[in-house]
Amino acid sequence: MKKILPQTDLYGILDYGLSRGRSNIEVAARMLEAGIKIIQYREKDRKMGVIFEECKAIRALTREAGAVFIINDFADIVNLTDADGLHIGQEDLPVPAARSLIGPARILGLSTHSPAQADAAVEAGADYIGVGPLFFTKTKKDVCQPVGLEYLDYVVKTHNIPFVAIGGIKTGNIREVAAHGAGLCCLVSEIVGADDIGAAINEIRRAMRR
């Protein structure tokens, strides 16, 4: 059966470097306790053995919580841990090649930064797209310049594909992002770097609803 992204409000991405010394497994557990239904593992520089063991543990946690588990870049780890999906960037494998590695039933997401890239992602058969970075962000290395809310407006107006708004989104601006039509948003540092992850998620949700 084809897997799909759940209807939810927040898309959680793990980042060990911002997690105040807590493991990705611990942070994932706190996210799940607060009701996060999508978690992405995005670690570029850790040893593959560490990545594999963390993803195995987080797969177990997400399965128990009924949440979707996405892995960034590593199709082999997706298959080995039976993750729900793979997320790739513009400079990674083309969508059809990535699909051939993970199979037709898993979720395949693609980061996009322009109307042309969104159009191409839909044409290529991505299951969802990342829309951003909307604002300046230091969370991701080699990130492109902010694309602004105009690109978000384009996606909302033009496509029906599921999408996650990402890049520089904070508690202070998430209301504006939601007002432009983003129902699913990703905040990294404000969640993984919070003293109390559950309280931070509750505050973000309140801000989003306002």
**Catalytically annotated residue among 30, 37, 59, 111:** 111
Say whether 63 is catalytic. Answer: no
Q: Is 20 a catalytic residue?
A: no
Looking up tokens 């084809």 gives 2
Q: Which of 19, 30, 37, 42 is catalytic?
A: 42
Beta-carbon contacts of 150 under 8 Å, excluding residues fewer than 6 positions away, are: none
Q: From the centroid of its chain, how far is CA 96?
A: 20
Structure token digits, residue 78: 């997706």
Q: Which two tokens stand for residue 164?
A: 């996650």
By C-alpha distance, which of 66, 87, 82 is closest to 130? 87
* Contact call for residues 2 and 175 (beta carbons, < 8 A): no
3 is catalytic: no
**Positions marked catalytic:** 42, 111, 140
